[in-house]
Every structure is written in structure tokens, then in C-alpha cells.
Amino acid sequence: MSPTLALGCASLGNLYRAIDDERATATVDAAWDAGIRYFDTAPHYGLGLSERRLGAALADRPRASYTVSTKVGRMLEPVPGGGDQMDDGGFAVPATHRRVWDFSRDGVRRCLDESLDRLGLDRIDLVLLHDPEDHADQAIAEGYPALAELRDQGVVGAIGTGSKDVPFLTRFVTECEPDEIIVAGRYTLLEQPALDTILPACAAAGTAVLNAGVFNSGLLAVERPHAGLPYEYGPAPAAVVERAAAIAEVCVAHGTTLPAAALAFAGSHPVVRSVIVGADSPDQVRRNAALFGTPPPAELWPALVEAGLLDPRVLP
């Protein structure tokens, strides 16, 4: 089955810059109109703002017609007087709460209860332990069994984790054999470290991969990469920009663009079920959906391999 395109909803939580409620709703509406039916959010995104906006935007849609994933492990605790300051976690929202790591059984259940309330749902399709690599032992020994209990009770559908940490993801899949995981920025057109361990482990465990961060924080989202673009949530090093630009040149020579190729590649591995891409406007959603529906010629991948710009293991 071909992978689907999903909407990553960090921008609904005012990632990097504020958008208003109307624009957030219009972004979800544009995704719906483009055929997108999977939406990924988290309490971390805007201190709950993303979940509230997503829930409101989907409220009138038939519940069985869409899939929502959210995450647990970062509790939101109120900060008295915090509204006078801004969040320091990358989101343009008042610091009304602080994030507290907690992958205990009680923490997971409480976090999920609060997400259900913000989303206005009585069930979540997929719940993931959020970036637990620095708390791996607790996440595996307590957090994952707590999710398994909730799955058995029918409160959640599928369970897993989301991270960009290769060793942790490999350990988690090997030990837990989860339903699904989010791999963030580790299987992209720019770099493919997930090929070494994560993707083979998922294939062996029967774990589906949701591929996120496929533009490497934005570096692959433009047709002509240049200095000043982000990479790994910071300025892209010159050598990385040079490599991305070289990939872009090969794309142009084969009648496609870097963003189109990046999206197509992200969904090309057999274990990838969905490609999660964020957007902060309806235009971005429509552009990404159009690119996702226009795959590049098959000759592109061997050409990139021949140029030393792509791991040869990606070829059939």
C-alpha cells in the first residue's frame, strides 16, 4: 500500500511564529480538502494550543473518517503568573505552563486524559511516547506498558514512540515491538542513518514507520538551498547546504524539484506508512499535497547514487 501524507500540527501551536485561530482552522480545512486524513499533534506543541486548535477544526468531521496521533511524557504544569512571559520551547505562546518529563504509568495516563480533553475526543487513534531517549529505561519499563494497558482498554488504538535518536529507536523497537513509531529526520533525501538499524528492526518487528522531519527542518523545502536556512533546528552548516544544493541540481536535471523529491523519497521505504509534513498556512498544505502527488522519475534515485549523494542501499 502506498504511504499517505499526514499533517504535522506543530505550527498550529505557533511554532516559531504566531498564527491566529482562523488561519489554523483554514490550514486543517485545506489538508482535509487535499485528502489528508491523518493529523499528528502533541501537548508540547504550543503548550496544548495545537491540540485545542486541531480538536476544534475537526469537531464537525465524522470521527471514523480521520486519524489523530498525540504524545505523552511531557506533562504541562501551570505556572502562576507565567502569562506575562513567553514560552522558551520554540513556540510563540505565553508561558502559562511548564513541561515536566514523566514517563511513569500515572504520568502517561494523566497526560493522555488532558490531551483527550483538549482535543475533545474520547479515544485517540495513536499515542506515542514523546522523545524519551533521555528517560529510556522508565519509558520502556513503565510508559510503554501503561500505553499497552490503555490499548487493551480501547482508550487508544495503536501505540509506540517518536524520536530522532537512532540508538533509542532501535532499542525501543527491538525490545517493545510497538505498533508504530515516528522517525524524525533520520530517513530523508539528505541523510539516511535509519537504514543501518531502525528500518531493519521495524521490518523484523512488523512496526510501521511514520516518517517526519523529511525536509530536515526546512533545508529541503526550497528548490534552491542556500545559506541561512535551518537544519536540525539551527543554522545549516556550509557543507550540509552544499550537499543539499548538489542534490537539487540532480533533481533539476531530471525534471523535478528538491522538495518533490524529498517527499517522494521519504515515503519510498516499504516500512513507511505515512509521511508527516507540517504547514502553517493553507497554501503550504496545498503545495505539499501537490508535490506529494507528483513523484519524480524513477531514474532520479540511481543518478543520485551515482553522484555519491544517496546511499546505494535505497535502490531496489
Are 194 and 268 in contact by the 8 Å Cβ rule? The answer is no
What single-letter DSSP state applies at residue 41?
Answer: -
d(CA 251, CA 136): 39
| Paired residues of 76 in beta bridges | 99
Instruction: Count each helix (H run) and each strand (E run) in the chain, helices first.
Output: 11, 12
What's the one-letter identity of residue 230?
A: P
Told to judge if 45 belongs to the known catalytic residues of this protein, a careful annotator would answer: yes
d(CA 180, CA 208): 5
What single-letter DSSP state applies at residue 216?
Answer: G
Which backbone phi and psi does 125 adopt, to 5 degrees?
Answer: -70, -35
The active-site residue out of 38, 45, 144, 187 is 45
SS (H, E, C) 147-208: HHHHHHCCCEEEEEEEECCHHHHHHHHHHHCCCEEEEECCCCCCCCHHHCCHHHHHHHHCCE
Question: CA angle, 11 as apex, 9 and 15 as ends, to 5°?
Answer: 130
Q: Which contacts (CB < 8 Å, 24+ apart) does range 231-238 have?
A: 232/185, 233/90
d(CA 73, CA 79): 18
What's the one-letter identity of residue 108?
A: V
d(CA 284, CA 17): 15
| Paired residues of 278 in beta bridges | 8
Active site residues: 45
